[in-house]
Amino acid sequence: MRSETVKKGYQRAPNRALLRSLGVTDREMDQPFIGIANAYNTIVPGHIHLRSISQKVQEGIAAAGGVAFEFGTIGICDGIAMGHEGMRYSLPSRENIADAVELMVEAHRFDGLVSIGTCDKIVPGMLMAAVRCNIPTIVVTGGPMLPGYAAGRELSLIDIFEGVGRVAAGTMSEEELGSLECAAMPGCGSCQGLYTANTMACVTEALGLSLPGCAAIPAVDAAKLRIARESGERAVDLVREGIRPRDIVTPTGLKNAIRVDMALGGSSNTVLHLMAVAREAGIPLDLETFNAVAEATPHICHMQPGGPHSMLALHRAGGIPAILKMLERYLDDAPTVSGRSTLEIAKSAQVTDPDVIKTADAPVNPAGGLKIVRGTLAPDGAVVKCAAVPEAMWRHRGPARVFDGEAAAMEAILHREIAEGDVVVIRYEGPRGGPGMPEMLSPTSALMGLGYARVALVTDGRFSGGTRGPCIGHVAPEAAVGGPVGLVEDGDEIVIDLYAKTLDLIVERATLEERRRAWKPPERRLTGVLARYVQTVEQANLGAVQR
């Protein structure tokens, strides 16, 4: 056991003395030491309940003959950070979390690890740390929030974001929006649809690093406490069996995870996060892999925000095991932390609501929910959540409306300065230009709330998993490093073709070269974390990882 480094031999008497001060007994000195990375805090709805989950994990570890040591990590709520300067800190927090877990694991020589998190960058950061440290690890995701309810219908956070646009359009009063605000988010858990937090939970389970069923169990369901205890027990077994994350996070496991993501129509942010995890594991993974898997995978579950179904509906329909069952012929067998293989889980699962989880022969769409597009506007690629794009907008040609930053675009949208047919371009919001590649849920939701049907949005920033509509993000290279998106001017024609997977700027090359000679990136004074971040962050097509 790794922990013997700090507890065996007379030379380690000082180390043992410190462990004894914690209440560690003689018997426990001979047991596996299991770290618990817990993202609990009282500002993130998806994390406020994680103390109770950690308590069950600790009980499971003790019952299986291990010793639990809990430590904390940070966690940012993207919803609270959305639409202001705070969103610039969200993506950089992913690397901070990975580093924090690594520091604690390596300094204290834990034998195994249980990572407990829920929201957008926390779970990816914990996955990165798991494959980086490569000690036996299991992940417990905290679970989705129950849907809100008002006026005879279920609600989620996106109803509130889109309500802002409806107030601006005059189709909803501020009082009505206030009533929705009070009803939409009824308690703890990650936001109710297949937004980034829940997508990453599903991907983690599909990858094999969570126990079957974990992702979709609601935060308030007692089943979440039971699976937390089982995860604690299983963490000790993983140490004794010598099963490590890199035994599970393999090229096969990653493709299975991407396939489940495509079948669900998950968040575009999974492209960034899975590329980051693959890089930590030393596995080549590029944007074309996502396209190849998408083309070969049917979209079988029409989840919010593009479709009607919440995470609660997915849970009641059988959760990720049921998705695996419907995808069985597309999957390659791979190990999981449960001790059962992916195909063993699939064979034993049941679909309890075929209206929610379709068959592969009668899917929602014949191909997966994400596409990678390329062209003269995005030579190194861009990402679109095609599952949330109306078919009428899969091909679109329109004039550019260019904004250097989200705030300027949001002001124009709310003042109805955008016309149907426009292509809104928001630039200098990429990994370096933002910095931090902020999400654009506020402008995309405002467009929906205002009733626009034929407006596309293109950005070198990101979109929330809650975004729906013709929105293309992660444009690479970004404007701040001289990408073509920085050369676009108002009125330039932009052509989008999701069938052909293309995104083109229709401007003569000589004109672009003339603009390039006159181009200068805007200057931004940065300090602290963001100043360090821009010095090392890669482009979006490489996962926005830090070198």
Residues annotated as catalytic are: 464
Strands 33-38 and 471-473: unpaired
* Ordered DSSP codes for 310-359: -HHHHHHHTHHHHHHHHTGGGPPP---TTSS-HHHHHHH---S-TTTS--
Run of H or E residues at 63: helix 50-63
Beta carbons of 460 and 468 less than 8 angstroms apart: no
Secondary structure tally for the chain: helices H, strands E = 22, 14
Exposed, middle or buried by CB within 10 Å (0-12, 13-18, 19+), for 340? middle
3-state secondary structure at position 304: coil
Task: Please state, in angstroms and rounded to a whole number, the distance separating the CA atoms of residues 363 and 529.
Answer: 45
Please, what is the angle between helix 406-414 and helix 157-169, to 10°? 50
Residue 456's DSSP bridge partners are 423
Cβ–Cβ contacts within 10 Å for residue 547, how many?
7
> How far are the Cα atoms of 57, 59, 199 from residue 204, in angstroms, in the given order?
18, 23, 9
- Count, residues in the chain: 547
Q: How many CA atoms lie within 13 A of 491 on its CB side?
A: 0
3-state secondary structure at position 148: strand
- Tell me, what DSSP letter sits at residue 299? B
Beta carbons of 135 and 164 less than 8 angstroms apart: no
